[in-house]
Amino acid sequence: MSGFCQNRVVIVTGAGSGLGRGYALALAAEGARVIVNDINEQTAAQTVDEIRRAGGEARVDTRDITSYEAAGRIVRDALEIFGDLHAVVNNAGICRDRMFVSLTEEDWDRVMAVHLKGHFCISSHAAKYWRARAKAGGAVSGRIINTSSGAGLQGSVGQANYSAAKGGILSLTLVQAAELARYGITANAIAPQARTGMTEEVFADMMKKPEDGGFDVFDPANVAPLVVWLASACSAEVTGRCFEICGGEISVADGWRSGEALSKGARWTVAELDQALPRLIARTPPAQKVYGS
């Protein structure tokens, strides 16, 4: 077996179903050896079995990505089983959707833990391994692939917790890219639209399979080639980017940028701002609309 990720070792979280499963299968098909992490041991085992039947190498991992200690064990297992680590695909996620005034503290904390802390934990251990290797003079080709969403880029009504977590992941990606480049590590994010366990109920009608057998725009497998490329050696010069992908359409997100400025050269008074800000706002392009608004 040979391909874009030949002999590269990749950890994929949430790889028992949906997008993560598609990533694991595609990575293995391109030669990667995959740690299939999922809290559901049965679905993780099914993904591993499918990879092995196709001639690939994979192992099941059911550890909790929100535990820093457990995340370290995932990375150590990858090193002990396969001898190296080249990429981490932070995919696992959950939803606890409610309007903002109805969100509970538990709704907030759980989504933050799985998405934002989960992205931190494994990436932290992987980055420490890669940094140590680089400092020892070894070659490093490390890849961190984070998962944001349109909700993280522009917000989504009824998903304040999810949107905040996904927005935080985008900022985390920028910092990782800036800090880790010196060690041979890239960090990028993807914002996929696909049919998964988190979307199949809310967007069931929009994302259902075409009845005429035509192109299935929301098939999770459509996103997998992008993840394979980002996990490969080919993406070495690409870092700090967010790729939006839906079906056969892909774009690079254009995030927050400093806009037009007014400079007085001294402190503004409230009265002056009352005159200046409406004019400045009128000249500044508005943000994209929040999903559902």
Residues with catalytic annotation? 149, 162, 166
Instruction: Let me know: does 69 contact 5? Beta carbons within 8 Å.
Output: no
Instruction: Let me know: does 266 contact 194? Beta carbons within 8 Å.
Output: no
Instruction: Report the alpha-carbon distance of residue 293 to residue 290 in Å, rounded.
Output: 6
Query: Which amino acid, residue 229?
Result: W
Phi, psi of 245 (to 5 degrees): -145, 135
Report the Cα–Cα distance between both ends of the chain, in Å, rounded.
Answer: 48
Instruction: Report the alpha-carbon distance of residue 174 to residue 176 in Å, rounded.
Output: 6
Residues pairing with 87 in the sheet: 10, 143
Instruction: Let me know: does 242 contact 148? Beta carbons within 8 Å.
Output: yes
* Residue 264 CB neighbours (<10 A): 10
* Residue 211 CB neighbours (<10 A): 6
Distances, alpha carbon 155 to alpha carbons 29, 163, 188, 288, in Å: 35, 5, 20, 9
Instruction: Report the alpha-carbon distance of residue 34 to residue 12 in Å, rounded.
Output: 7
